[in-house]
Amino acid sequence: MGNVVINVGMKEILEMKSYYSMHLVDKLPPGSVFAAKTPSCMITAYKSGKVLFQGNGSEQEAGRWGGNPAPASAKVAKGDLPAGIGGMSVIGSDEVGTGDFFGPITVVAAYVKKEHIPLLKELGVRDSKDLNDEKIIEIAKVIKDVVPFSLMTMKNEKYNQVQQSGMSQGKMKAILHNQAILNVLGKISPEKPEAILIDQFVQAGTYFQHVKSQKAVAKENVYFSTKAEGIHLAVAAASILARYAFIQYIDKLSEAAGFKIPKGAGAQVDVAAAKLILSKGRDVLPSFVKLHFANTDKALAIVNKKR
Ligand code: MN
């Protein structure tokens, strides 16, 4: 649990205050301008221009403001994101399904103009991990007509084929993110985003290594951050749309299977895959699951026990 202190101007402090408006706390320490408490971080901004971040998410939160690290700070703020990125017009991208045994990988890039940020907030767009499927569907149905976006779905057959040919999941993701971003850039052209923010799954250098053989690569103003859903609503919107697509796909698989397909990669998917093999045969597996997961062998072991 780290503490980070950055030094910023009053303009930035007011910007931060509005950014954290949902999380402001009433009780202010002496000399402070505002204090806010997010699920991962306590933020206190002082009239002196010092802003203190405390808690697990302190580096993450401080990183989005990019102020000068104060000399006394134990840790240096990341500062690799443009200051105030949370209020810019941004293309965000995120993916869903990489850790799920059943179902595809869905990647969405979405463009959220700064004018649309209040509306999206109003609609309840936030970290999709805090939202249940019902809420995801409800929000996705509205925002899909508000924000320009591109959905890339890597279906299971293709995924297994590409994976068996030796491509890492990281490379697949990078290619899908790049393509989704290019699609959105094409859709909004000649307008350009002020920044492109990718929910980070590999280091920037690795990402660009992965996509270097692609016909076109989005490079200009591309930034990476972990937990980027919390940095700009474009990533949160992308994540909601990606999860919506994933849920819909799982529904289709459930229909084809004749029973409800579970998400994740826990014991419940082993049981479901075994049930699928017993009713439809082993040959259908490649169109339902990510074969290289350890769950495949576990499902087969269950089948063998039952036979
Ligand atoms: Mn992500």
Closest by alpha carbon to 42, among 80, 6, 70, 4? Answer: 4
Q: What is the pLDDT of residue 11?
A: 84
Cβ atoms of 6 and 65 closer than 8 Å: yes
- 1-22: pLDDT as tens digits: 578 888 888 888 988 998 888 8
**Cα of 95 from ligand 1 centre, angstroms:** 5
Tell me the two tokens of residue 40.
Answer: 């991962």
Tell me the pairing of strands 41-46 and 32-38.
Answer: antiparallel
The answer to whether the beta carbons of residues 88 and 114 sit under 8 Å apart is yes
* pLDDT for 64 beyond 90: no
What domains can you pick out in the chain, each with its CATH number? 3-70 (3.30.310.10), 78-248 (3.30.420.10), 251-306 (no CATH)
235 CA to centre of ligand 1 in angstroms: 9
Predicted pLDDT at 232: 95
Please name the residue that has the structure tokens 């490379």: 171
Q: What is the pLDDT of residue 76?
A: 29
Query: What is the distance in A from the centroid of ligand 1 to the CA of 181?
Result: 15
**Mean per-residue pLDDT for 228-250?**
96
CA of 172 to the centre of ligand 1 (A): 14
**Cis geometry, peptide bond prior to residue 190 (ω within 30 degrees of 0):** yes
What is the whole-number distance in angstroms between the Cα of residue 200 and the centre of ligand 1? 7
Query: Please, which pLDDT band fits residue 75 given cuts at 50, 70 and 90?
Result: very low
Q: Separation of 302 CA from ligand 1 center, angstroms? A: 32
Q: Are 263 and 102 in contact (CB under 8 A)?
A: yes
- Strands 105-112, 149-154: pairing is antiparallel
E-only strand ranges, the chain: 2-7, 32-38, 41-46, 50-55, 68-69, 90-96, 105-112, 149-154, 195-199, 222-225
- Centre of ligand 1 from the C-alpha of residue 281, in Å: 33
Of 185, 184, 187, 201, which is closest to residue 95 (Cα–Cα)?
201
